[in-house]
Amino acid sequence: MNKSYKWVVKAGSSLVSGNQDGVNIDFISQLASQIDFLKKKNQEVIVISSGAVAKGMNDLGIKKRPDQLAILQACAAVGQRGISEIYQNTFEKFGYTTGQVLISHDDIANRTRYLNAKNAIEALLDLGVIPIVNENDCVATEEISFGDNDRLGAALAGLIRADRFVMLTDQDGIFNDDPTKNHNAQLLDRINLDDENLDLSQILNSTSGVLGRGGMKTKIEAARTSLNSGAMTWVASGLKEDTLLKIFKDEDIGTQLITEKSTLPSRKLWISSFGSVAGTIVIDDGASEALLSKGKSLLSVGITEVLGNFNKGDLVNCIDKDGKEIATGLSNFNNKEIEAIKGLNTDEILKVLGYLTQEEVIHRNNLVLS
């Protein structure tokens, strides 16, 4: 019997959306056929599906993507119902039951709800149900959304400690340049995200229209998150009928993203899954070395500048004086407090603020190195 792996398969909006009542039913049918193959090989599969807004627009007779957030949310509300029915009707032909799971960014950012989501999805898998997950676009706002479900898929890969995370798109994988503008762009079969010689600038300039709302940047960010959880990660074509089969058989397909870093422990993995950063802290060379080389917490004395407005408990970036990202973590202070205590030794915080709730601005247990 084949070893059982957990798969998270993300289907992009360019694949799911279509002219058949706003949904590409042919794509969903061939995806279901591939998942049927995996299920018969003792694999567990979660599908992350885009397309709710497009489906809702079709059902409501709206031709152009609305600019108003409330109208977008209304389209999502209508479309999610239709998408869910299509997935159920399609998978039912193969003898499977599906379950719709709607997740918002807040469900990931709140640790208790994060763990509740984990329990619910794992219960569905134990019952033999195929979870069909979508961002809860009815309540999401642009500022806190995951970005075309790429980060959502990566967050879920970490949530359930998935073994495989596959981002299906309308391209063969990741190219060294935008293939829609440069016909000589070459497919990259493997990318080591820890390669110091890797230049992602060309790749990150790929148009978002080709790869959904988030573009290539969100796919790279999503890959970092999924790799942190230990999931093998691919960006590959969803237009081919054997992509998942080839990955299962360890055959080359699309672009595999790899890392040389170790898997993160569960709490740090949760932190890396947030996606949305509320602000930025600029740190000096001493603080950078303390974080990178000594496993230390971030103290106020090493902070030189504070950017953005954020509250205690928010996720913030730590960058050095050259703008290089050093770490991401949960702040023990809001931006105004840090502005007041930056550059000060810990024993001076009480004198300035009049209180001392924490000695560290970011504790090392709540910090993930970039």
Residue type, 64: K
Distance CA 342, CA 321 (A): 14
Question: Would you list the domain boundaries of the chain?
Answer: 6-269, 277-369
Candidates 2.102.10.10, 2.30.130.10, 3.40.50.2000, 1.10.540.10; correct CATH number of 277-369? 2.30.130.10
Contact between 182 and 202 under an 8 Å Cβ cutoff? The reply is: no
In the CATH hierarchy, which fold is given to the domain comprising 6-269? Carbamate kinase (3.40.1160)
Q: What one-character-per-residue DSSP string does 291-352 give?
A: HHHH-PPB-GGGEEEEES---TT-EEEEE-TT--EEEEEE-SS-HHHHHHHTT--GGGHHHH
Per-residue pLDDT of the chain (370 residues; tens, 9 = 90+): 678 999 999 998 889 988 767 889 999 999 999 999 999 999 999 999 988 888 899 999 998 888 888 888 888 889 898 999 999 999 999 999 999 998 877 777 777 888 888 899 999 999 999 999 987 756 555 543 555 688 889 889 988 999 999 999 988 999 888 777 888 888 999 999 988 777 777 666 654 443 344 577 788 888 988 998 999 999 999 999 999 999 999 999 999 999 988 888 877 888 877 767 889 999 999 999 999 999 999 999 999 999 999 988 888 999 999 999 999 999 999 999 999 999 999 889 999 999 888 899 999 988 988 7
Distance CA 112, CA 123 (A): 17
pLDDT of residue 306: 97
**For 266-315, how does the pLDDT look when each residue is reduced to its tens digit (9 = 90+)?**
778 888 777 678 899 999 999 999 999 999 999 999 999 999 999 888 88
pLDDT of residue 218: 81
The three-class DSSP label of residue 360 is coil
Distance CA 190, CA 124 (A): 33
Q: Residues near 186 by Cβ (< 8 Å), separated by ≥ 6?
A: 175, 176, 177
Distance CA 210, CA 271 (A): 29
Provide Rg for the chain, Cα atoms.
22
